């Protein structure tokens, strides 16, 4: 399973990259705003800065909601860097845009996916990634992980190449459950990645090893 970090914070992206397990980055307009990155030029520059830190794919989201606008924006984003994947919302014009980009060899990430039907459409249109938001489904008492399972089943039935990118991952158990289900990618905060490290028996075991080493020296 690929690990993406879901942030526009360069320090956190660097930290995850230095851990050696990072495969890419996802961003969205809210995450950009959270880092105080505003204005088209600053946003475009920030995407390039992110690409220069990581080796893998970097999702950059269009703001337009009409087909023409999405195409114009998406082509500009794709030209920024070869690692850019154009993030397109799951709306009617978004599906048309994904199909257009797919025909032109521009990779897309279909975002704001909350149902199997939406995931099926995204795959049919040729999205490179589909992003079901599992945390936001959990927030409204709906089983986000179950959606990942169902999409996995559907995609396997027809050997769709679209990768399931479990998004809105909030914590380590989401990561582990996504791995069990067979999500291709998960994107979450640094805390969800680093949380995988933690076990009290590792800490106490290491403390004992070091203590015993000291006794013998
Ligand atoms: O990747 C989508 C993600 O940014 C949404 O996460 O935590 O705002 O639901 P969250």
Ligand 1 nearest atom to the CA of residue 168, by list position: 6
Is 87 tagged catalytic? yes
Q: Residue 217: pLDDT above 90?
A: no
Relative to the CA of 26, which ligand 1 atom is closest? 1
The residue to mutate among 168, 170, 189, having the most atoms of ligand 1 within 8 angstroms of its beta carbon, is 168
Q: Would you state the pLDDT for residue 103?
A: 98
Q: 102 pLDDT exceeds 90? A: yes
Q: Is the pLDDT of residue 216 over 90?
A: no
User: Which pLDDT tens digit goes with each residue over 156-178?
Assistant: 999 999 999 999 999 999 999 99
Three-state secondary structure call for residue 76: helix
Out of 87, 92, 96, 124, pick the active-site residue: 87
The two tokens of residue 97 are 């845009």
Using CB distances shorter than 6 Å, the residues near ligand 1 are 6, 26, 28, 131, 133, 135-136, 167-168, 187
What is the CB neighbour count within 10 angstroms for residue 2? 17
Confidence of residue 213 (pLDDT cuts 50, 70, 90): very high
119-124 long-range Cβ contacts below 8 angstroms, 24+ apart: 119/147, 119/151, 119/154, 119/155, 119/162, 119/164, 120/154, 121/90, 121/95, 122/90, 122/95, 122/98, 122/162, 123/155, 123/158, 123/160, 123/162
Q: Which of 4, 28, 178 to mutate to test the pocket of ligand 1 (most atoms within 8 A of CB)?
A: 28
Residue 125 has pLDDT above 90, yes or no: yes
Q: Is pLDDT at 31 greater than 90 in this prediction?
A: yes
Strands (E), the chain: 2-6, 24-26, 57-61, 84-89, 108-113, 129-132, 163-166, 185-188
59 neighbors 81 (Cβ within 8 angstroms): no
Q: How far is the CA of 28 from the centre of ligand 1 (A)?
A: 8
Nearest by Cα to 54 from 23, 8, 85: 23
Residue 122 Cα to ligand 1 midpoint, Å, equals 19
State residue 36's pLDDT score.
97
Strand pairing class (185-188; 108-113): unpaired
For the entire predicted model, the pTM comes to 0.96
Contact 188, 194 (CB under 8 A): no
Sign of CA dihedral 186, 190, 192, 194: positive
The answer to whether the CB of 179 falls within 8 A of the CB of 1 is yes
Q: Which two tokens stand for residue 51?
A: 């690409």
- Percentage of the residues of the chain whose pLDDT score is greater than 90: 99
């Amino acid at each position: 399973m690929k690990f993406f970090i879901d942030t526009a914070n360069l320090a956190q992206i660097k930290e995850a990259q230095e851990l050696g397990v990072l495969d890419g980055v996802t961003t969205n307009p809210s995450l950009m705003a959270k880092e105080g990155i505003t204005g088209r030029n600053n946003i475009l520059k920030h995407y390039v800065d992110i690409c220069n830190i990581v080796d893998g794919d970097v999702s950059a989201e269009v703001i337009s909601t009409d087909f023409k606008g999405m195409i114009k924006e998406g082509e500009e984003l794709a030209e920024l860097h070869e690692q850019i994947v154009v993030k397109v919302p799951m709306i009617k014009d978004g599906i048309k845009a994904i199909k257009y980009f797919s025909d032109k060899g521009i990779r897309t990430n279909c975002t704001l996916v909350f149902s199997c039907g939406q995931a099926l459409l995204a795959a049919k249109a040729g999205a490179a990634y589909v992003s079901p938001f599992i945390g936001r489904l959990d927030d409204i008492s709906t089983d986000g992980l179950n959606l990942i399972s169902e999409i996995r089943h559907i995609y396997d039935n027809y050997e769709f190449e679209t990768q399931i990118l479990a998004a809105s991952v909030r914590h380590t158990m989401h990561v582990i459950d996504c791995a069990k289900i067979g999500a291709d990618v998960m994107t979450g905060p640094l805390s969800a990645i680093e949380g995988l490290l933690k076990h009290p028996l590792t800490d106490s075991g290491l403390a004992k090893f070091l203590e015993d080493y000291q006794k013998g020296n």
